[in-house]
Amino acid sequence: MEAAARLGRLRREAAEYYRGHRVPERMEEALNALFPLCPEDLYGELANYLSKFSKAPVICKLVGRKVFDGVGQPTLEVEIYCTVKNYEKRICSTVMATHSQIPENALPETIEADAKERNDSVHTAVEWVNESLSTMLRGLEPTDQCQADKMLGEYFANKVEEKREIEKEEEVGQEGEEEEEEEAAKVAPAPALRPPTPKSKQKKGGKGKKVLVEVKPIPPAEPAEPVLSGSLAIGGTSLAIARAAATIRRVPLYLHTALLKHNQETPKEMTLPLPMVTLLNCEKNSSTKLKLVKEVMFIPPVELSFKQGIERVLDIQKEMTRLLESPGKMGLFLFCFQPPASKGVSRLGCLRTGYDSLEQLLLQMQTACNNIGLELGTDMYLALNCAAHELMDYDKEKYEVLTGTFKSPDEMVAMYVEMINKFPFIIALIDPLRKEDREQWSSICCALGSKCYLIAEDAATQISQLKSDQNINIAMCSGVVLKYINQTKVSDLIELTGILDGQRHITILGSPDGESSDESLVDLAVGLGARFLKLGGLARGERVAKYNRLLAIEEELAANGALR
């Protein structure tokens, strides 16, 4: 009797439990809906039908690990695990690209110190992900990108404040030691220093007289933004959460990004960014003279599909390789402009070489195109990355554009105006000046803004410094190259591209120098509506993978009738 009573009570509790969750009602709905279909896999269809009533997946843990990027440098991988239908499931992972602020001509000890700092930063990032961030984000729905990025931003701000407090304590300790040393040594007060005399130069006047003209000093270089050790964890986690949300929603990352930017409103059409494909990496340290150009990039005309544009660039690349490997066969009219042979493939995934003049470089570009029946300015366009911040000689306060040839910021503007007028097929200049030369940025934009894009890459500083009271804190320019590095979050890119769109600046998403095999950057560029995508060349696997991803997106959008 007692066992029967207990069994009856359990049956009543079970019935009440299932009725409370509407199980009988929903089972009846499922059976009625599926019977006319007579699915081959009935239980599979039942599972699919009922899964829409299950709880949303939530993050249960993050896993961070040290991996290596495309050039063998350490970087961070972040894996997302979610609780899905009561089971722990690995959803996705992302690998962060790395960016170095060390110039090409850095000393060996500087490069070694940077490598150690990078390794320490990755180690710290792995600790943050596996410990603090995994605990902090547990139970959060990956689809709530805004909340996730808010929490990540607050965590990072606290880490920055912690570092500042430590530095203050160290400064106080150092000051105390210095005061004790001064008291013990009874150092006499130092003589007052005279203020620096402004530079002047002699200018010839009439009748042999010389007039002293004061030369305005150039603005000093702004210090590089310090990178907090471990900051990769913030960017890696934010991007991993975005990918997890796209996976859970069963949509591509580019569409998920577009939905985030446009408040969950599905765009009817999407436009692919135009590729800036790097063909040549001109070494500034080589025995050749030209220092003005760091990268030579091709931009296909807009009327071509992405696939057609890439195929055209590949044809030019093959011809350029042939010309560089057999310089004696380029034709008699090039006898005074023979470039050195190619020096292999750079980390940017392109041919590495050098030239003695800009005319020599551009003449070879024209020759390569003409040899395969193409014309620069019609069938293909050029973009030049000048990386002007690497050209400044601060002793002379001038840019070294050729070995031994120096130009002031104002002379640089005049040189670019002459260049674009002479070679109109150059439609974009990246970093033609340092970011500090704001007056000259305004001048060059007024002179050339209607003829070519004037783009800030290094001149745009870090993303965290770009936002200032809903304004873009950079010199006047046509657009900005944004890179997903360090503590950058997906929400930062969405906000910043919205501001750029509102100010009619163009957005270029750029690939850092230490690129990984992760393809997320391409999806972000498409979803954010970037005008250009700067991925490097077509000769390294981690970069070619991104071009292949863009090919796949083009096919998918075209098949769905959503390609503008």
- In tens, the pLDDT along 459-476 reads 766 666 666 545 555 668
Question: Does the global pTM surpass 0.75?
Answer: yes
- The 3-state DSSP class for residue 467 equals strand
Alpha carbon 327 to its chain centroid, in Å, reads 35
Measure Cα distances from 420 to 122, 278, 336, 354, 439 in Å. 43, 19, 23, 21, 20
**Residue 504 neighbours by CB distance under 10 Å:** 8
Per-residue pLDDT of the chain (564 residues; tens, 9 = 90+): 788 888 888 888 888 998 998 999 998 899 999 989 999 999 999 988 888 889 999 999 999 999 999 888 999 999 999 999 999 999 999 999 987 767 666 778 888 888 899 999 999 999 999 999 999 999 999 999 999 999 999 999 999 999 999 988 888 777 766 677 776 666 555 544 444 445 555 555 555 555 555 667 888 888 777 889 999 999 999 999 999 999 999 999 999 999 999 998 888 999 999 999 999 998 776 688 999 999 999 999 999 999 999 999 999 999 999 998 875 544 433 434 455 556 788 889 999 999 999 999 999 999 999 999 999 999 999 999 999 999 999 999 999 999 999 999 999 999 999 999 999 999 999 999 999 999 999 999 999 999 999 999 987 666 666 665 455 556 688 999 999 999 999 999 999 999 888 888 889 999 888 888 899 999 999 999 999 999 999 989 999 999 999 999 999 999 999 998
How does DSSP assign 393-456, residue by residue? ETTTTEEEEETTEEE-HHHHHHHHHHHHHH-TTEEEEESSS-TT-HHHHHHHHHHHTTTSEEEE
- Per DSSP, 139 falls in state T
Out of 473, 486, 548, 560, pick the active-site residue.
Answer: 486
486 labelled catalytic: yes
321, 339 contact by CB (below 8 A): no
- According to DSSP, the β-strands at 274-282 and 295-299 are antiparallel
Q: For residues 329 and 36, what is the distance between their CA atoms, to the nearest angstrom?
A: 74
Structure tokens at 3: 């066992």
Q: For residues 520 and 480, what is the distance between their CA atoms, to the nearest angstrom?
A: 19
Amino acid identity for residue 370 in this structure? N
Alpha carbon 217 to its chain centroid, in Å, reads 33
The full set of domains in the chain, from first to last, is: 13-52 (no CATH), 57-171+227-250 (3.30.390.10), 253-325+346-560 (3.20.20.120)
- Per DSSP, 220 falls in state P
